[in-house]
Amino acid sequence: MQQPKNVSNFPKHFLWGAATAAHQVEGNTHNQWSIWELENAKAKAAQAEYHYHDFPSWERVKADAKDPSNYVSGNLANHYGRYKEDFDFLEKMHMNAYRFSIEWSRIEPTEGSWSAAAITHYKEYIAELKRRGIEPVVTLLHFTHPVWFAEKGGFEHRRNNRYFVRYAEKIMAELGNGIRYVVTINEPEVYSYASYSMQEWPPAQSSRWKTWLTVRNQLAAHKQAYKAIKALNPRFKVGIAKNSVYFYPGDTAWLSRVSAGFMQWLQDDVHLRTIRRQSDFLGLNYYMSQRVFGYRMHNPENADRSDLGWTVSPGDIEYVLQRWHDRYQKPILITENGIADGTDELRQEWIKATVVALQHALDDGIEVIGYLHWSLMDNFEWAYGKWPRFGLVAIDYKTGNRTLRPSAAWFGRVIKKLRGV
Ligand code: BGC
């Protein structure tokens, strides 16, 4: 395995950090997801063996996966109350950036009424980061909707976009001073696909039309919010966070090459093309690549897998960066990247290969402005619940104890060296 170069080619202001999302760490949120969790926890626990028995981690995680409480976010590690302790870990790892999301359902619990307490909370949260010299990267919407918004049909109706835009304006006007980087919406197409095609997330419907419609409406909402936020202050850097799997042909056959190219286009360009003019940067969430034979995905059988069964191909991020750079010529912020690895056996190699890939990308003149690891801490992994462990910081949900994983301590030393601090 290639080692990161000792001489740093990272720009001085490169953002080194980690990411979280409100519903996945804060605890005690009340939104369309928390309601759905309570309704579905028992069924999910009962079906766990059927769905997940072929995961490499199954023997290790099955007790948790079969427990209904795994599927209810509940108090989690109470990041809402204990965020200062969690920020200590950012400092321990010499990080200078942190991505988090604001929970809309806390800010606007009922339609049109703003919670002063929640606004104050996030103001203090951001001020605390600034005090520590950590650049906040704020996400306005990360999959969770206030109940009243979901009841109106959420992004199924274009007319509902105005509620999101009003919230975006409000929050930026209130919190704006300390903020430069804003992600409007996290992974619009992943949300739509999981919620309206796969039926894995609320409202768990099966409709190709609604899948398409909700993606288009979210992209339109991004554009509207972009305009509103830039009108408040043109200095804000606004973008979305976009998931990208790297698809590559497994052989030289014409069909494999065309299929891989088509899948990449469908996943990336259909969406990015729409918002390129309303993006000051592109946020990239990279987790895996997929090998394509003919028109089907078929990955190497004997390769490493994460606890979720995902292929472990961190270095392929380089190809996504290259492709996005060639097509869009925008600064790229890696808004998420990481691995579900409860035993912490693969994470260090993952990060190492990623840093090498970033160094190659920078050498090739690609403007990568930061790397935010997913995740700062173990969290609520949506339909899978609490057992997948993405954290640099391990959480014991029984005691609330937090501990830095060995790979994270190592990463901290690498950041220190590369930042020259
Ligand atoms: C999401 C995160 C999630 C991560 C790992 C991304 O798609 O933005 O919320 O935890 O992937 O699955």
Ligand 1 centroid – CA 286 distance (Å)? 10
Phi–psi pair at 41, nearest 5 degrees:
-55, -45
User: What is residue 68's DSSP assignment?
Assistant: G
Kindly give the number of the ligand 1 atom that is closest to the alpha carbon of 374.
4
Q: Which two tokens stand for residue 405?
A: 């994983």
pLDDT in tens, 147-172: 999 999 999 999 999 999 999 999 99
Ligand 1 centroid – CA 243 distance (Å)? 9
pLDDT in tens, 292-336: 999 999 998 878 899 999 999 999 999 999 999 999 999 999 999
pLDDT reported for residue 3: 75
- 360 by DSSP, 3-state: which? helix
Degrees, nearest 5: CA angle 191-196-200: 75
pLDDT reported for residue 7: 65
**Nearest-angstrom CA–CA distance, 349 and 376:** 17
Model's pTM, two decimal places? 0.98
Atom 3 in ligand 1: which residue has the minimum CA distance? 381
Answer whether residue 101 shows pLDDT above 80. Answer: yes
pLDDT reported for residue 22: 98
Length, in residues, of the chain: 421
Kindly give the number of the ligand 1 atom that is closest to the alpha carbon of 187.
8
Burial of 220 (0-12, 13-18, 19+ CB in 10 A): middle
Question: Which H/E stretch holds residue 404?
Answer: strand 402-404
Hey, what's the torsion of the CAs at 284, 381, 83, 13, to 10 degrees?
Answer: -10
pLDDT reported for residue 1: 67
pLDDT in tens, 187-239: 999 999 999 999 999 999 999 999 999 999 999 999 999 999 999 999 999 99
Q: What is the maximum span of the chain, computed from C-alpha positions, in angstroms?
A: 60
Q: Which among 141, 336, 375, 392 is the best mutation to test ligand 1's pocket, defined by most ligand atoms within 8 Å of the CB?
A: 336
Phi–psi pair at 403, nearest 5 degrees:
-140, 140
Ligand 1 centroid – CA 186 distance (Å)? 9
Percent of the chain surpassing pLDDT 70: 99
> CB within 6 Å of ligand 1 — which residues?
21, 24, 186-187, 190, 243, 285, 336, 374, 381
pLDDT reported for residue 4: 76
State how beta strands 181-186 and 135-141 pair.
Answer: parallel
